[in-house]
Structures are given as C-alpha cells and as structure tokens.
Chain A
Amino acid sequence: MEKSKWPPGDLVIWIFIMAELLVFGIFFAAYAFTRANHVELFNTYQATLDRNAALINTLALITSSYFVVRAVAAIKMDDSRKCFQWLLAALFMGLVFLLVKGIEYQHHFSQGISLSTNTFYMFYLSMTFFHFLHVILGMVILIAVALKARAGGYSARQHDGVETGASYWHMVDLVWMVLFPLVYVMN
C-alpha cells in the first residue's frame, strides 16, 4: 500500500492533537519530577487508588478505540449503517469509562479528598479530571460523526470526518495508556 504524506482525517485535528499531547506531556513530566522529591508521600497515597477500576477503564478505552477503528473500516466499505453501529458501541464504552471514573471520584470526595489534600491528590485529581474532560469532548465529536454517518453523510470516497473524529478519540486513548501506569502502578 502506498504511503500518504498526511495522517488520516483533517490536518487541523492533528495539530490540535499535537498541542494536546504537549500539554499532557508537561503534566506527566511535572508529576514524575515532583514525585522524585516526595517519593514516600506519592507511594503511600498511590496505594489508596482503585487499580481494578483503572483496569476496567483502560480496557473500556482500548475497546472503544478498537470499535472506532471498525467504524472507519466500515465507512471505507461504504457501509454507513455499520459505521454508525460501531460508533454507538464506541460511545457506550466511553460511557462506561465516565461511569467508573465518576464512581471513583465520588468515593474520593466522600472521604473529603480534594485538590488541596496533598501534592499527590492534586496531581491525581487534576490530571485524571483533565483527561475526563477530553473523554467527554471526544464523545461529543463521536456523537456528531455518528449522527452524520446515520444520515448517510459519509461514503467510501468522502469520510474525512469519520477519520478526524477517530484520530481525536485515539489520542484520548493514547494519553490514558501513559496516565494509567504512571499514576496507578509505577512506584
């Protein structure tokens, strides 16, 4: 297969994705270097996090991303109906992520934990909530793409919109792949 000079979807989304990756990268580096000065504190409070919930969320995001890959493959085959169905399935997995993360937050807040509790929780809550907002934005984009797909707005020849939404959603997944071990596992 001949290689393209440009990534799938609209180039503007890729510039946006790179900007997002830069911001998350700064967050990750700040977490790691701050932790270097507070190793005991970070290890102690990291142990209070629910790793099973993090596992469910990681599997949900990967599955969702895979469903989006299938949606793109479907529209390349000119199958708008299947594209719509795969996108719906992806959105459902996104919803699972939001629900599990919401339960985690509720648990923390019920224990009186907030941004000002300590440095670890400041990073944990701000980084995961920043990502949480990106999941919501990604779902809004996928809903718009799914509705257009259902209306027959995409075809095998013209499906830039599907690839644009898919690229953003994969970025949300990509960021979580680093966030999960960094915050929940590495100590």
Chain B
Amino acid sequence: MAIKDKYLIRPCTWIFLLLMGLTVVTWFIGVNQFSGLQISLMALGIALLKGQLIGDYFMGLRQVSGFWRWAVAIWLLLIGSLIGYAFYMSAQS
C-alpha cells in the first residue's frame, strides 16, 4: 500500500511544485512588463509546457494509449501554433 501510495502521489507533488514555479516565472515577466516576440513566445512555451504537465500527470493521460494519450498535446500544439503565428505576424508588421 505504501509503495502504491508513493507511486500515485509523489510525482504529482513534484509536478505541482514545478507548475507553481513556472507560474511565478510567467508572472515575473508580466509584472516587469518585459515585452517583445521572444518574451511572448517564451511565456507561451511555458504555458504549453504547463498544459502538457497537467494533461500527463493531473489528468492521467500518460497512463493512456492511442488517441486520448495525445488529445491534450494536439490541442496545445494547435493553439500554440496559431497564437505563436499571430504574435509573429504582429511583430513583423
């Protein structure tokens, strides 16, 4: 039971702490009003990473095979590409 408990909880606790840390990094970028394409893409990249961690560890999709394993990742990739492209376009104009 103890081994099972450790297996279930401990990785998620680390992921929780990582998500909190990444959130503070994003807030730091925002509150200091850092701007520009690279900064925006970095904030977007952090968001996509956080999303993937939530999908894998909180939603439990890393224990799933087939389409559902990648459902959240596909969504993140699609919206990440669209948002990234829109910000790239606005930086070029």
Contacts and interface: CB of A to CB of B under 8 A. Distances in A.
A, B bound: yes
Interface of A: 1, 3-8, 14, 18, 21-22, 25, 28-29, 32-33, 35-37, 39, 43, 47, 51-52, 54-55, 58-59, 62-63, 65-66, 68-70, 73, 76-77, 163, 166-167, 170-171, 173-174, 177-178, 180-182, 184-187
Contact of B23 (A35, A47, A59, A187): A59
A59 B20 contact: yes
B59 A8 contact: yes
A174 B72 contact: yes
A25 B9 contact: no
B75 A185 contact: no
Contacts of A21: 72, 75
B64 A4 contact: yes
A58 B31 CA distance: 14
B8 A55 contact: no
Interface of B: 1, 4-5, 8-9, 12-13, 16, 19-20, 23-24, 26-27, 29-31, 33, 35, 39-40, 43-44, 46-48, 50-51, 54-55, 57-61, 63-66, 68-69, 71-72, 75-76, 78-79, 82-83, 86-87, 89-90, 93
19 contacts: A5-B65, A5-B68, A8-B64, A14-B68, A28-B83, A29-B86, A36-B89, A36-B90, A37-B90, A55-B31, A59-B23, A70-B12, A73-B5, A166-B59, A174-B55, A177-B54, A180-B23, A180-B47, A187-B40
Contact of B31 (A51, A70, A177): A51
B47 A32 contact: no
Contacts of B87: 32, 35-36, 186
Contacts of B57: 69
Given A51-B27, A181-B26, 12 more contacts: A5-B65, A6-B68, A7-B61, A14-B68, A25-B82, A28-B82, A47-B33, A55-B27, A59-B20, A69-B12, A70-B12, A185-B26
A35 B85 CA distance: 12
A148 B79 CA distance: 36
Contacts of A18: 71, 75
A36 B93 contact: yes
B20 A70 contact: no
Contact of A65 (B26, B54, B66, B72): B54
